[in-house]
Amino acid sequence: METTLETAAPREVYHFAQNDPYDRSAAIQLVVPQRISSRDYMRSIRDFQVPQGSIAVWFLGQNSFLLKDATSPLIGIDLYLSNSCAAIPGLPFRLDRQLPIFIEPEDLDVDVFIATHSHQDHADPETIRRVPKTGNTVFLGPFDAVRIFRECGVPADATRLIHAGETLPFGSATVQATFALPTDATDLNHTGMLITFAGGLTFYNSGDTAWAERLPSLLPANVDVCTICINGGFHNLVPMLAAAIIKEIKPKVAIPCHYDMMINNIGSPGMLKVALDIVGATAKYHMLTYYEPWLYQRAGES
């Protein structure tokens, strides 16, 4: 069993299908309004005191997460903090974001900046160019993501290359790159990421991944929290295949992601819950909200 500790804020209802990706004349309606300034939000995350034996997770949409425990560095995953994908040429639909930019790149203050692969919504050149590079932030990713780091001005001594199966220490936490199946030929170095905290709590993010029959057997099993892509577009997992993976790897909590940001590539997070019930997975479903930290703690621990 597990216990998930949540903030007292009531569950919000989000409307992810409210923007037409083929109407280039329409203004984008945000799914959630901007409620706090970028700088204040970043400061609130930095200052947040995580209870012992817990991990805190902030969801910034798409595959962007910030997380830490009571002693670990502040770790960011796939931080897409711009609207740069909207400028990609030659597409018949819009790639505009429909979530606010929660934190401007100039205000970002993390200890570890992870990119699971080099797709623009995961290793965003605009975000990386604008992020301050005068501190002690380490930029971590597989080969092609590291190339983008360097092209965007990250000093060589601030980058770390990681391969699937490799584990690197960062303070009281470790980060292991896990297998992910590339979704196209533009980057054959896709990874997921498994973060293990000092108390043994584990957080696994799938990154972008396509489906293969052997995929579940190559992924970390019995983790505490699994965040998994469910949007189905661009060869990512659909909810039913995500649920099939969850059933096999048996995390305690399953959290959908990569369904809310791009107006052309949305999904229904609730469909993962339906799919988990259909396949008989034992994981508890949880949908993250915006702006509020989500706290996870195992049962019987304090």
pLDDT in tens, 252-263: 999 999 999 999
The verdict on pTM exceeding 0.85 is: yes
Q: Which amino acid is at 249?
A: I
Q: Are 294 and 51 in contact (CB under 8 A)?
A: no
Q: Report the pLDDT value the prediction gives residue 301, as an integer from 0 to 100.
A: 61
- Other Cβ atoms closer than 10 A to 87: 11
Q: Report the pLDDT value the prediction gives residue 134, as an integer from 0 to 100.
A: 83
CB-based contacts of 47, cutoff 8 Å, min separation 6: none
- CA 288 to chain CA centroid, Å, is 11
For residue 40, CA distances in Å to 34, 35, 108, 129 come to: 12, 10, 11, 22
Q: Across the chain, what does the average pLDDT equal?
A: 94
Q: Where are the domains of the chain?
A: 2-9+29-298
Q: How many residues belong to the chain?
A: 302
CA proximity to 80, closest of 41, 19, 135, 128 = 128
Buried-exposed string 167-206: b where 16+ CB fall within 10 A, e elsewhere:
eeebeebbbbbbbbbbbeeebebbbbbbbbbebebbbbbb
Q: Report the pLDDT value the prediction gives residue 302, as an integer from 0 to 100.
A: 52
Q: Which amino acid is at 233?
A: G
Give the SS3 label for residue 291.
coil
CB-based contacts of 242, cutoff 8 Å, min separation 6: 206, 228, 229, 230, 256, 272, 275
The pair of structure tokens assigned to 220 is 């970390």
Percentage of the chain lying above the pLDDT 70 cut: 95
H-type alpha helices, 152-223 = none
Q: Which amino acid is at 33?
A: P
Task: Return the CATH architecture of domain 2-9+29-298.
Answer: 4-Layer Sandwich (3.60)
* Per-residue model confidence as pLDDT tens digits over 62-102: 999 999 999 999 999 999 999 999 999 999 999 999 999 99
Give the pLDDT of the chain (302 residues) as one tens digit per residue. 344 444 444 478 999 999 999 999 999 999 999 999 999 999 999 999 999 999 999 999 999 999 999 999 999 999 999 999 999 999 999 999 999 999 999 999 999 999 999 999 999 999 999 999 988 999 999 999 999 999 999 999 999 999 999 999 999 999 999 999 999 999 999 999 999 999 999 999 999 999 999 999 999 999 999 999 999 888 999 999 999 999 999 999 999 999 999 999 999 999 999 999 999 999 999 999 999 999 999 876 65
Q: Report the pLDDT value the prediction gives residue 233, as an integer from 0 to 100.
A: 83
The pair of structure tokens assigned to 130 is 């604008």
Q: Are 207 and 192 in contact (CB under 8 A)?
A: yes
The pair of structure tokens assigned to 263 is 């107006």
Give the SS3 label for residue 126.
helix
For residue 251, CA distances in Å to 49, 98, 142, 203, 211 come to: 25, 30, 25, 9, 18
Task: Tell me the C-alpha distance between 130 and 274, whole Å.
Answer: 40
Q: Report the pLDDT value the prediction gives residue 3, as an integer from 0 to 100.
A: 43
CA proximity to 114, closest of 123, 106, 105 = 123
